Amino acid sequence: MPQDCTDYGQGWSGEYPNCTYSAPPFGGGVESLGFQDILPADVKGTPWSDFFDPYDPTREQMATTGAGIDIGQLQDVWSLQSGQLGEAYGLKTGQLEEAWGLQQGQLGENWQQRKESLGAEAGLGYKQAIGRGSQAKRKSGMAFSGEAEGMQRMGMQDVQGAYQRAFGSGQTAYEQAMESGQMGYEQALETAGLSYEQALATGELGLTQGTTDIYQQLGQDIYGYQQDWEKDQRSTLNVILGMDIWGEDNNTACDPPCGDDQQCVNGICTSNPVNPDVPNDPGGIGACYPQQTCDDGSCVDFGEECPSGSGSNCEPPAGGCAGDEYWNPNTCTCEWIP
């Protein structure tokens, strides 16, 4: 598992996992092929490099542009999706807040009504206690007024005690309900937040992986284009070597180069005439191929001297050949003109 963008290979950069790819420099010149180590500098005045095509980056540029468009589309889709996720999250939190607000209001309203009810009940209890005390005083007269007042105070204390107990119990229930509701609200918010963050993380991971896949495919395509170019140029080289366009044997060039009327054979320049009637004579270097043909028609190995009497020592008759004949220096005879 890569931990750094450079772990993907050459051309990768960025802060992992948000990696980008840019094709490494590729010269693409014919000199980068290294064929200058195989071929002569020129072929009869034509540089060897003219036989090969430089790398055309058009397909590479188109692939890079296409990859950029694909990545841009991925980003646009994710931008839309992330915006929708944000809107949904905002709507959810708004609904939760509204629901908790309503619940708080309802709990507060219920508690307020309960307090009012307890107050009314306590007031009624006080009135009843006072009424019973007054009635006892009238019946008992002044002699028993102290006892009647005591009964009244006890009645009022009972009412107050009942009120306080009911009030405390109601307030406890209200506070517990508020605490429970607050906890539920906060948990619902947390759950919504986690769901939103997970959706964002999943979407961002998909965007990152999709972008990486596009860049990897781009790298493979560009490498393939470069390999195809090199293969094509290698094929051209093989054709040239197979055709032996320099007119030489075993692809051995002459140094210095031969003249226009000569051919290079085994590293030696020869001026032997073309003989198209001789089989397996590449370029017409004479009937003695793979030996050299002397002017008198004899054959000797390349590098050896022709026998005496051939070449400049072979002269036509003093009076020349007959009118219907010509002098053949290869055979040193007059031959009939066909």
In the block, residue with structure tokens 């055309």: 56
Confidence at residue 99, expressed as pLDDT on a 0 to 100 scale: 94
pTM: 0.59
Residue 20 DSSP code: E
Q: 177 burial class (0-12, 13-18, 19+ CB within 10 angstroms)?
A: middle
CA distance 189 to 186: 5
Q: Identify the helix (H) or strand (E) that includes residue 24.
A: none
Provide, for the chain, the percentages of residues in helix, strand and coil under a 3-state DSSP scheme, each rounded to the nearest 5: 60, 10, 30
Confidence at residue 248, expressed as pLDDT on a 0 to 100 scale: 45
CA distance 81 to 78: 5
pLDDT at 199 over 90: yes
| CATH number at 51-243 | 1.20.1270
Q: 125 burial class (0-12, 13-18, 19+ CB within 10 angstroms)?
A: middle
* Torsion angle (degrees, nearest 10) of CA 8, 12, 13, 16: -30
pLDDT digits (tens, 9 = 90+) for 146-172: 666 777 778 788 888 888 898 899 899
What's the pLDDT band for 254 if we cut at 50, 70, 90? low
The 3-state DSSP class for residue 47 equals: strand
Dump strand ranges (E) for the chain: 12-15, 18-21, 42-43, 46-47, 263-265, 268-270, 292-293, 299-300, 325-328, 333-336
pLDDT digits (tens, 9 = 90+) for 226-245: 999 999 999 988 887 766 55
Domains of the chain by residue range: 51-243
* φ, ψ for residue 97, nearest 5 deg: -65, -40
Tokens of 161: 């005690």
pLDDT at 92 over 50: yes
Confidence at residue 251, expressed as pLDDT on a 0 to 100 scale: 38
Asked if 44 and 25 touch (Cβ cutoff 8 Å), the reply is no
Q: Who contacts 289 (Cβ-Cβ below 8 Å, separation ≥6)? A: 265, 278, 280, 281, 282
pLDDT at 279 over 90: no
DSSP state letters, 269-313: EE-PPP-TTSTT-TT---TTTTSEEPTTS-EE-TTSPPPTTSGGG
- Which of the pair, 166 or 206, is modelled with greater confidence? 206
pLDDT at 100 over 50: yes
Averaged pLDDT, 25-37: 88
Q: Who contacts 232 (Cβ-Cβ below 8 Å, separation ≥6)? A: 53
